[in-house]
Structure 1
Amino acid sequence: MLAVLPAFPAVAAEPLRLAPAGPWRIDYGEGTCSLARKFGSGPDAVELQIDQSGTGPFFNIILTGAPFGKTVGAEMRIAFGPDEAPSERSFLSSVRKEGMTPFIMMHGIHLAPATRPDPKSPPVVSEIGSEREKAIQTLSLSKGLRAPVTLEIGEMRSPLNAMRTCVVDLVKSLKLDEAGLAQITQGPRPKNVREFARFLQERFPQRELLNGDDGTVAVQLTIDDKGRVTTCQIAASDRPAVFDDAACFGFLRAAEFEPAIGTDGQPRYGFWGTRVTYRSN
């Protein structure tokens, strides 16, 4: 005898809205500035970290906590509400291993979607201004999560002003300001160009490859005095945004450099920039 059970529609996961569990913290790190804040409590507790290593409208974002352990698809819809429009972009997530705190990482995030002055021109990302920063109240993430998450981050003008001050101080302390850069006699030099190019090619985003999508990403890397890539900052990008994460992940994971050399003959911090073009054919 075969029993047929009635079908029930799948129940969508309830959206999660989390209030702050503490104030913003500013961290003057080695090679980068970070804003961090905790939200929620118990099993829903999460932390938001916003990193920046250079001037401009781009940020790197890391979100940690159990709510980010259940991702779906390859794109995340992210919006700084209530006024800024959402944008869709790729993300990197942790491999689910026992004892590992889930996290999501996104490179080249901006507070508002890129605009296109005319249909033939590339998208443009610009600063949104202090009044729009002050109007921000939430950060919402959906589509890429089984349960959408909204963080009540509050107005962002004050935290971002603190970030900008940190970036100015950081650039000066590492002698990466205009006066310091003038003292570099030899900039950072890549050591493993062929190996790195192969690394990027082997990790061409699969969906974009199948769709025939192309993209160009301009990156600025900070190279420390030992030749290590400490930060990857998106300097400019056209879309799809998936290429932002692919490029930065590749540089941070596989690129090797000889450090910059100063007028005293000693290795020192330096910038290295390039454009990475992804072509599907």
Structure 2
Amino acid sequence: MRLIGLVTGVMTAAAMVAPAMAQTASAPAVLKAATPWAIDYARDSCRAFRKYGTGADQVELVFITLPRSSGATLVVVTSPEKGPGPKRATFGWVRIGLQPGGESFNERYASAPVGESPRRLLYVLLDQAQLDQMIASNRIEIEGGKLDVVLEPGRTAAAFKALEPCHDDLLKSWEVDPEILRSAVNRAVPTGTPQTWVTNADYPKEALQKREQGTATFRLTIGADGKVVGCTILHGSGSVVLDDTVCGLMRKRAKFTPARDAAGKPVPDMWISRFRWELP
């Protein structure tokens, strides 16, 4: 079995080696923006989205974010012809190329059909460095499976600025005061290495027998003493057993140096991360 360890705010597959992406025979067409950026105040997240191109070639770019969390989930909504696989969940590698800087990186993707719709969703977890590069880019190429598109995102930084009120609303829905969190000059910091909080030996037997896997996004409430006083699953893995195991282990093993305000007084904080359970 393989577990993909914890990092602050987003999961990475650091132990996995990305394959070289094949070069396409011809350059993909550049898709212009078809709509302005829009913000979705979702029940469990904040989302910035924009559509590119028209007709069967149309692609929708979605960034899913959470307050006080680094990185984001990138979702690309495509037609089945442009998607990376058949009418079932598929997994693989995607290459994201950025201009004008010329940066590129390979990341794992998960893709699934949208119910009975002919569209597909491709999910990629971005760390903060990757997200910052995408926000600063004026062209983004996304290549994975059958998908190979170039988008001109436009005003991405302004879209992320517009997400801030949504983040505050989401915090309030969790009964968390955004101003108290902002008062922390120094945020709560994990004590030790978060990647060691869950090990291969922790994979639940019941989930192994059923071959259950998936990614759980969770929120830890951290007291002024640095102890975890609560764990909430924000986006489940699809397995109750895996989700319950994540929170149980976080309550037992996660430890933090307390957040402090400008006067040096310890204050409560929160920590959001993701954990991916994965089987070969």
Instruction: Look up the SS of the partner of 1:112 in the other structure.
Output: helix
The equivalent residue for 1:58 is 71
The equivalent residue for 2:243 is 255
The structure 1 residue matched to 2:53, chosen from 40, 58, 65, is 40
**Once the two structures are superposed, what CA deviation does each residue of 1:132-189 show, in whole Å capped at 9, x if it has no partner?**
94x42122112x23352111111322111112332133213432346889xxxxxxxx
Matched, 1:16 2:29: yes
The equivalent residue for 1:176 is 176
Long gaps (5+) in structure 1: 1-10, 114-126, 182-193, 206-216, 232-247, 259-269
The residue type paired with residue 140 of structure 2 is: L
The equivalent residue for 2:163 is 163
The CA RMSD over aligned residues, in Å, is 4.5
The equivalent residue for 2:4 is none
Bigger relative contact order, structure 1 or 2 (CA pairs below 8 A, ≥6 apart): 2
Cα separation, partners in 2 of 1:62 and 1:136, compared to 1, 3 Å: same
The residue type paired with residue 243 of structure 2 is: A
The structure 1 residue matched to 2:83, chosen from 69, 73, 83, is 69
- 1:22–1:37 Cα contact (<8 Å) kept: yes
Long gaps (5+) in structure 2: 1-23, 182-201, 222-230, 249-268
The residue type paired with residue 81 of structure 1 is: Q
1:14 CA drift (Å)? 5.2
TM-score by length of 2: 0.55
* Matched ranges for 1:76-95 at <5 A: 76-83=94-101, 85-94=103-112
- 2:207–2:213 Cα contact (<8 Å) kept: no
1:221 CA drift (Å)? 3.8
- Structure with max Cα Rg: 1
1:19 CA drift (Å)? 0.6
The equivalent residue for 1:244 is none
- 2:207–2:242 Cα contact (<8 Å) kept: yes
Matched, 1:152 2:173: no
Give the Cα separation in 1 of the matches to 2:233 and 2:52: 30
Give the Cα separation in 2 of the matches to 1:84 and 1:14: 15
**Once the two structures are superposed, what CA deviation does each residue of 1:21-60 show, in whole Å capped at 9, x if it has no partner?**
0100011111210001111101101211111112243101
* Matched ranges for 1:61-140 at <5 A: 61-66=74-79, 68-71=82-85, 74-83=92-101, 85-94=103-112, 99-110=117-128, 112=130, 133=135, 135-140=136-141
TM-score by length of 1: 0.54
1:278 CA drift (Å)? 7.5
**Once the two structures are superposed, what CA deviation does each residue of 1:86-142 show, in whole Å capped at 9, x if it has no partner?**
1111111115987431221122454538xxxxxxxxxxxxx66xxx94x42122112
- 1:76–1:145 Cα contact (<8 Å) kept: yes
- 1:35–1:50 Cα contact (<8 Å) kept: yes
Aligned residues: 200
Cα separation, partners in 2 of 1:279 and 1:48, compared to 1, 3 Å: closer
Instruction: Look up the SS of the partner of 1:20 in the other structure.
Output: coil
